[in-house]
Amino acid sequence: MSAPSLPLVLASTSPRRTELLARAGIAHEVLAVEVEEARDATLTPEQLTIENARRKAVQGSHFKPGRLTLGADTLVYIDSEPLAKPADLEEAAHMLRRLSGRTHEVCTGVVLARDGDIIDAFHVITHVTFKPLTDEIIRAYHAQVNPLDKAGGYGIQACTDMLLDHLEGSFENVIGLPVDEVALHLKQLSPAR
């Protein structure tokens, strides 16, 4: 009988990513990693998010020898410009004003690494269209949702009906991890895990 597969190492302390993996039944261990994220505006959304995910996964994999480690990075893009986590509520409100009544992209790069080597890398893009948002709606939203730890200044999983008109693609990707794609890639790697 073969030994049970060790759980995936998630190189992130994001409660949203942990919850998404748990809901999908993917056993994992959380590992906090500190990396300096790339902020190169000349990179495409795919390149930038994969680079940041690579930094997390590779560093995490050095702490857990032999273990498959997942790094992920999610960014919101409008007019080809990345919107990271806002510094304060004023910046968060400004971001929502920019997204109001428009379609933007949410790109998540995912990298799987083992012992410092990249095993797999992919990205998922979701197109998200917001309703027109007044300052009153933005204030009401921020009274219920802390935007400061979320790319683009919002969390789609909370008070969704206040912001969302419609989306094309993975809802979970907008939360922070395209878990269906992750599960598919893990399944493809399962003999090597």
Amino acid identity, residue 112? L
Reading the block at residue 192, the tokens are 């090597």
SS (H, E, C) the chain: CCCCCCCEEECCCCHHHHHHHHHCCCCEEECCCCCCCCCCCCCCHHHHHHHHHHHHHHHHHHHCCCCCEEEEEEEEEECCEEECCCCCHHHHHHHHHHHCCCEEEEEEEEEEEECCEEEEEEEEEEEEEECCCCHHHHHHHHHHCCCCCCHHHCCCCCCHHHHEEEEECCHHHHHCCCHHHHHHHHHHHCCCC
Distance CA 60, CA 53 (A): 11
Which residue of the set 73, 79, 115, 149 is catalytic?
73
88 catalytically annotated: no
Distance CA 48, CA 41 (A): 8
Would you name the residues annotated as active-site residues? 73
